[in-house]
């Protein structure tokens, strides 16, 4: 994934955005021949993600000490890099922005995965990602221990309420979609739609914005005739209650759209 064109492009654009015509502070203050070692350090307990991006940012004497998915304690050394001091400082903020953001996603994802442990239910991410960073944020979510849902609109069919309305109903939407040959999931909003979808042979149902008690009732009606995903206002405070309803999956946009960046620092040591 590291050499995927989207990843190469987003790193290039991030560096151009920050450095522009040059790091005027470093150029003004630091001798041109000064060399140093930079150390990336965890400043809180976290789950690491995005560390391989350092290979695209720093191309000199990089040593990666921890890998994506590692649970780190405060003070853990993540990576070291030796280079010209000006270069190290010019790339510092971009490197930290990626590491802090992606490790924040991975850390929150690990909390969700831990919250449902033992229920047999898996947590999914969503398409509620930072524009341009979806591939990276989904990789970070996976590093945290959850399951990736579809990457975009192109790789699986998810029929939601507006699709049903535009198609002319549950049956018509499913019949039309069946010609695609792609995996099909359909959202149902009422017991009538639930029964109609099952009668049409739906194999993957999305139940949205139900309480855990309602979800358990509807899942009982499904009775294993289809795979069930629950979504809608699911967060760390209630995810286990939803997972215990018998659902196969729970999904939460919180993992990507509301993850808090973690604290990672960069310490420069002169050679």
Domains in the chain: boundaries: 5-113+259-270, 119-257
pLDDT score, position 86: 97
Class of domain 119-257: alpha beta
Task: For residues 98 and 17, give the distance between their C-alpha atoms in angstroms, rounded to a whole number.
Answer: 14
Beta bridge partners of 83: 36
Class of domain 5-113+259-270: alpha beta
Q: Specify the range with the lowest mean pLDDT, choosing from 9-18, 54-63, 86-95, 139-148.
A: 54-63
pLDDT band at residue 91 under the 50/70/90 scheme: very high
- What would the mean pLDDT of 9-27 be, rounded to a whole number? 97
**Beta carbons of 57 and 91 less than 8 angstroms apart:** yes
Question: Is 160 considered catalytic here?
Answer: yes
pLDDT band at residue 52 under the 50/70/90 scheme: very high
- What would the mean pLDDT of 98-120 be, rounded to a whole number? 98
pLDDT score, position 1: 83
pLDDT score, position 48: 99
pLDDT score, position 220: 98
Task: For residues 246 and 221, give the distance between their C-alpha atoms in angstroms, rounded to a whole number.
Answer: 12
pLDDT band at residue 60 under the 50/70/90 scheme: confident
Q: Can you say how many angstroms the Cα of residue 103 is from the centroid of all Cα atoms in its chain?
A: 10
Which letter, b or e, does each residue of 122-148 get, where b requires 16 or more Cβ atoms within 10 Å of its Cβ? bbbbbeebeeebbbbbbbbbbbbbbee
Cβ partners under 8 Å of residue 91, min gap 6: 15, 19, 57, 58
Q: Residue for token digits 């192109």?
A: 154
- What would the mean pLDDT of 78-89 be, rounded to a whole number? 97
Question: Is 208 considered catalytic here?
Answer: yes
Residue 246 token pair: 């018998």
The residue from 82, 208, 244, 263 that is catalytic is 208
As a whole number, the mean pLDDT across the chain is 97
Whether the per-residue pLDDT at 59 is higher than 90: the answer is: no
The residue from 34, 35, 93, 195 that is catalytic is 93
Element (H, E) at 100: helix 85-115
User: By CB neighbour count within 10 A (0-12 exposed, 13-18 middle, 19+ buried), where does 178 fall?
Assistant: middle
The residue from 128, 171, 189, 195 that is catalytic is 128
The residue from 43, 77, 127, 160 that is catalytic is 160
The residue from 125, 187, 193, 248 that is catalytic is 187
Tens-place pLDDT, residues 179-230: 999 999 999 999 999 999 999 999 999 999 999 999 999 999 999 999 999 9
pLDDT band at residue 2 under the 50/70/90 scheme: confident
Task: For residues 210 and 195, give the distance between their C-alpha atoms in angstroms, rounded to a whole number.
Answer: 16
Give the strand pairing for 35-42 and 264-270. Answer: antiparallel
Give the strand pairing for 227-231 and 249-251. Answer: parallel
pTM: 0.96
Tens-place pLDDT, residues 24-33: 999 999 999 9
Q: Can you say how many angstroms the Cα of residue 100 is from the centroid of all Cα atoms in its chain?
A: 13
Q: Specify the range with the lowest mean pLDDT, choosing from 52-61, 86-95, 196-205.
A: 52-61
Question: Is 55 considered catalytic here?
Answer: no
The separation between the first and the last C-alpha atoms of the chain, rounded to the nearest angstrom, is 34
Q: Can you say how many angstroms the Cα of residue 211 is from the centroid of all Cα atoms in its chain?
A: 25
Task: For residues 185 and 168, give the distance between their C-alpha atoms in angstroms, rounded to a whole number.
Answer: 17
Which residue, 129, 107, 112, 132, is CA-closest to 257? 129
Q: Above pLDDT 90, what percent of the chain?
A: 98
The answer to whether domain 5-113+259-270 and domain 119-257 are alike in fold is: no
């Amino acid at each position: 994934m590291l050499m995927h064109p989207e990843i190469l492009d987003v790193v290039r654009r991030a560096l151009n955005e920050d450095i522009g015509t040059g790091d005027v502070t470093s150029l003004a203050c630091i001798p041109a021949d000064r060399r140093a070692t930079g150390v990336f350090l965890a400043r809180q307990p976290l789950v690491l993600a995005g560390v391989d991006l350092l290979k695209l940012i720093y191309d000199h004497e990089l040593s990666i000490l921890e890998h994506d998915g590692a649970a780190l304690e405060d003070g853990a050394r993540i990576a070291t890099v030796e280079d010209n001091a000006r270069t190290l400082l010019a790339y510092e903020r971009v490197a930290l922005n990626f590491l802090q953001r992606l490790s924040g996603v991975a850390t929150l994802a690990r909390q969700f995965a831990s919250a449902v442990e033992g229920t047999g239910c898996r947590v999914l991410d969503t398409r509620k990602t930072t524009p341009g960073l979806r591939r990276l944020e989904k990789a970070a979510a996976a590093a945290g221990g959850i399951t990736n849902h579809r990457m975009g609109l192109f790789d699986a069919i998810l029929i939601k309420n507006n699709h049903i309305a535009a198609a002319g109903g549950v049956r018509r939407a499913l019949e039309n979609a069946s010609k695609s040959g792609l995996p099909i999931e359909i959202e149902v909003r009422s017991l009538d739609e639930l029964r109609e979808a099952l009668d049409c042979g739906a194999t993957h149902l999305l139940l949205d914005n139900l309480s855990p008690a309602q979800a358990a009732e509807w899942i009982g009606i499904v009775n294993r005739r289809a795979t069930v995903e629950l979504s809608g206002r699911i967060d760390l405070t209630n995810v286990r209650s939803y997972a215990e309803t018998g659902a196969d999956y729970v999904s939460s946009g919180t993992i990507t759209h509301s993850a808090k960046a973690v604290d990672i620092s960069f310490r420069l040591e002169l050679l």
